[in-house]
Amino acid sequence: MGPLDKFDIIVRRRGETFIAGIPQIHLYGKGTSIPDAIERLEKKKRDLEAELTDADIDGLPNAEQKASGLELAGGLKLFAAKAGIVVGLIVLAALVLGAAVSAKIADSAQQLQHLGGHEFWARVDDQLSQLADPKRGLSPDKQAQLLNEIREIGNRWRPFIVEIENIFREPTAPPVDHAQQN
């Protein structure tokens, strides 16, 4: 068993091609089937072991530990970056929401300041004077027309209103027939 046999082999399929690899040392073999891809990876592994032997290197000292440490550090960095982005977005949303609520509260407070006081009562007095002014009222013909229309609407809807009134009347009270009263 050689020093490269300690690593796990991962096989993936992309379309019609299979890739067998040892990601920790970036060694891969590609083939048209899984056995073909693994066979090519094994050949590359034997070639690398031969080169290491020729160079008088006894395997890959701590290569497995270094590779897994690098993967862990990379994963932690990626997690920290994603967590930082999420926290940043939450803080930004809270700031925008806080600014909007603050502006709304300030507008409401400013409107409440104008409620009451001398200006308020002067405005109420002016509006009451305008409403009570006989020159601004309706003409007698227009008043008569509006009253006739209101009476007509009342006559059309009276039966429905009487029935609704009877439905909601206390059970001890006798039903009222407005048609007989008129």
pLDDT of residue 178: 61
Confidence of residue 137 (pLDDT cuts 50, 70, 90): confident
Of residues 128 and 56, the one with the higher pLDDT is: 128
Query: Mean of the per-residue pLDDT values for the chain?
Result: 84
pLDDT of residue 121: 84
Torsion of CA 18, 21, 26, 30, to 10 degrees: -30
> What is the layout of strands, in order, in the sheet containing 17-22?
10-14, 17-22, 27-31
pLDDT of residue 7: 86
- Please give the model's pTM, rounded to 2 decimal places: 0.35
CATH architecture label of 3-61: 2-Layer Sandwich (3.30)
Confidence of residue 115 (pLDDT cuts 50, 70, 90): low
What is the per-residue DSSP string for 79-137?
HHHHHHHHHHHHHHHHHHHHHHHHHHHHHHHHHHHTSSHHHHHHHHHHHHHHHH-GGGS
d(CA 30, CA 16): 11
Interval 15-39: pLDDT, tens: 999 999 999 888 999 999 999 999 9
Confidence check: pLDDT of 124 > 80: yes
d(CA 20, CA 27): 9
